[in-house]
A and B are shown apart, each in its own frame.
Chain A
Amino acid sequence: MTDRNDKRTKELTDSSLDALFAEAREAAPQPSGNLMARVLADAEGMIATREAEEAARIQALRPKQRHPIVAAMVAALGGWRAVAGLATAGVAGLAIGLGAPMTVTTLATGGYTDGYADGAMSYETTSYATGESGYALDDLVPSFYDLASEG
């Protein structure tokens, strides 16, 4: 069809085309409030989903609930602090028993019963100084003689 037209009317000039583009730019289609609401709802839904996932992840990282029997035992002993104290005392006892049997044996055997009869509460402060008690000061101090003789 263009062949029949002369050159002048065949095409729009560049300037009129540019003017048309400018008009189109001004008359750009505007998003409806509905579309804006949908887009924003998507965005906020995404944030909410991500927050929920994060919360679930943190929840999963938490230690699992104890067995009810174990929980009851811990509670009966006075909570985890008391259990920790007990465990420490137990380990300390084991260490003392393994590490210093001579001292423990000296204290535990009945060789000092006369001093004990005098007054069990007072031997630490007075008896060893006066020599009345069966305990000498070095009986109460761990002895390193064993170590020295062995090494």
Chain B
Amino acid sequence: MDLPARLRYADPVMTMPFDALNDVSDEALLISFGNGDRAAARALTMRLTPKVLGYSARLLKDRAEAEDVAQEAMLRLWRIAPEWRQGEAKVTTWLYRVVTNLCTDRLRKKRGKGLDEIAEPEDERPSQDAVLMQRQRVDALQAALDSLPDRQREAVVLRHIEGLGNPEIAEVLDISVEAVESLTARGKRALAKALASQREILGFENDGS
């Protein structure tokens, strides 16, 4: 498949010094997109899609499904752009919220079909390779995250992986800050327990001190 020329230079998304609009806030870009600015559309796509996908991929096991959710969330952003009210919410907060809801819907539907149908992540072949080791550790974390209740998983991912503050998480999940604190604390404890049996894989066996 040949990518459009405008995307070809954007493949390494995280290293993107290419964009003259880097200093412009998400909100300003969204408003100029609402006024029909194609450059703003491109800048927003580059900036927000990785975040949206990163989050949805942590909540859903299926990569293709995570991409669908990311596209859907961005589509909702494009739709709301002309009516975006300035200063009311952060664009990323709004997006995290949409992604959370979309993922919750999908997980709920899946659960209706039965837990057993959800594919377990495949085991990585054991390897001395450091990169693969890291991959294994990240996969183990993901598996442990998947075992958490939805709310705890969302809160832990937002807090510790996406790096959001508690008040913003409260806004995303539509709960109180205290509830966020309790969710992240419980989630973290559950994670630590779930990962305890995999200390060897994780390479933390000497980590008692």
Residues of A within 8 A of B (CB): 1-2, 5, 8-18, 20-21, 23-25, 27-40, 42-44, 46-47, 50-51
Chain A residue, CB-CB nearest to B205: A9
Q: Does B20 contact A (CB under 8 A)?
A: no
Residues of A within 8 A of B36 (CB): 47, 50-51
Query: Which residues of B114-163 are within 8 A (CB) of A?
Result: 134-135, 137-138, 141-142, 160-161, 163
Option from B7, B192, B197, B202 in Cβ contact (under 8 Å) with A36: B7
Chain B residue, CB-CB nearest to A15: B207
Residues of B within 8 A of A14 (CB): 188, 192
Q: Taking A27-B134, A36-B49 as contacts, is the C-beta distance between A43 and B3 under 8 angstroms?
A: no
Residues of A within 8 A of B192 (CB): 11-14, 17
Q: Does B70 contact A (CB under 8 A)?
A: yes
Q: Taking A12-B196, A13-B207, A36-B10 as contacts, is the C-beta distance between A20 and B202 under 8 angstroms?
A: yes
Binds A, one of B38-46, B86-94, B97-105, B166-174: B38-46
Majority-rule SS of B interface residues: helix
Residues of A within 8 A of B41 (CB): 40, 43-44, 47
Residues of A within 8 A of B45 (CB): 36, 39-40, 43
Option from B70, B188, B189, B208 in Cβ contact (under 8 Å) with A8: B208
Q: What's the tally of chain B residues with a CB closer than 8 Å to chain A?
A: 55
Q: Does B106 contact A (CB under 8 A)?
A: no
Chosen A-B contacts, 26 in total, with CB atoms closer than 8 Å, are A10-B196, A11-B193, A17-B188, A27-B135, A27-B138, A28-B50, A29-B57, A29-B66, A30-B14, A31-B13, A31-B70, A32-B67, A33-B11, A35-B70, A36-B10, A37-B7, A39-B49, A39-B70, A40-B7, A40-B41, A40-B42, A42-B71, A42-B74, A43-B78, A50-B36, A50-B82
Q: Taking A16-B207, A29-B63, A29-B66 as contacts, is the C-beta distance between A37 and B53 under 8 angstroms?
A: no
Residues of A within 8 A of B108 (CB): none
Option from B42, B81, B196, B202 in Cβ contact (under 8 Å) with A2: B196
Chain A residue, CB-CB nearest to B67: A35
Residues of B within 8 A of A31 (CB): 13, 49-50, 53, 67, 70
B138 touches A34 (CB 8 A): no
A1 to chain B, nearest CB (A): 8
